[in-house]
Amino acid sequence: MNSFNSLVYIWIGVGIITFVTLLLLKVRAPYGRHSSEKWGKMIDNRLGWFIMELPALTIFPIMTIMGPAEKNWLTWLLVALWLFHYVYRTIIFPFRLRTKGKKMTITIVFSAIVFNGMNGFLNGYFLGYLYQIDDSIKFISPNILIGLLIFFIGMTINRSADLRLISLRKENTDYQIPGKWLFDYISCPNHFGEIIEWIGFAIIAWSLPTLCFAIWTCCNLIPRALDHHMWYKEKFASYPTERKAVIPFIL
């Protein structure tokens, strides 16, 4: 257990170093609107999305289910919530994108495979091999109820933002300024929602690996949102100056 916890802390450290590096060096990772052939070979972005999300979809539930640790209702709740997110993110979302002909660099695909694979492994190993059932935890426990509320609020924000962004992208049209709803306050409600979602998941599970995943989600998505926000300001002279990047009124 001590060795496992040390590995989790190291992975948290890697996330924080990545976060600081991206901010200090102002590196725009080559994904989406920032994609560039100078970062290497490109593949269809929908295929890239599927490939890079697949490790998270499969590793966590397989390790949890196949591991020798005793399972209880909380185990199955966490697996269900995880699958609820990643079935959508891996199988449904990529093929709803209206981005025919758009490419994604393999560099991003491989880095996302590492990110998703490691987070899936840490959480799956903990639940499948190390988890010890605590009978004092009930479904009405405050952390379960609060965490579920936060998780589904985050998921609703994330998916609603995705749908609004997709609806702006018609065939053969360029990017547009998103508006209304949370877009009046931040450039990236989709990232804001996903951050909230995994914070809720961590509150439900109340474990070091889920805290690690929530931290890594922030380290990954906050720089991405800041890049998108800056891109909007560069591309559109009329972009709302009062709009923040990812956290309303703050950042």
In this predicted structure, what is the pLDDT of residue 185? 93
Low-confidence ranges of the chain (pLDDT < 50): 171-172
Structural domain span for residue 48: 2-235
Closest CA to 210 of 219, 222, 201, 223: 201
- Alpha carbons 77 and 244: distance in angstroms, whole number: 34
Q: What is the pLDDT of residues 132-159, one digit of tens each?
A: 988 888 888 999 999 999 999 999 999 9
In this predicted structure, what is the pLDDT of residue 37? 58
In this predicted structure, what is the pLDDT of residue 173? 58
CA atoms within 13 A on the CB side of 146: 8
Domain membership flag for residue 48: yes
Domain membership flag for residue 240: no
Residues 196 and 221 sit within 8 Å (Cβ to Cβ) = no
In this predicted structure, what is the pLDDT of residue 172? 47
> In the chain, what percentage of residues exceed pLDDT 70?
90
Query: How many distinct structural domains can be found in the chain?
Result: 1
Domain membership flag for residue 159: yes
Domain membership flag for residue 72: yes
In this predicted structure, what is the pLDDT of residue 180? 84
In this predicted structure, what is the pLDDT of residue 16? 94
Domain membership flag for residue 69: yes
In this predicted structure, what is the pLDDT of residue 35? 54
In this predicted structure, what is the pLDDT of residue 212? 97
In this predicted structure, what is the pLDDT of residue 36? 54
In this predicted structure, what is the pLDDT of residue 54? 94
Domain membership flag for residue 241: no
What pTM value is reported for the model?
A: 0.90
Tokens 């999305």: give the residue: 49
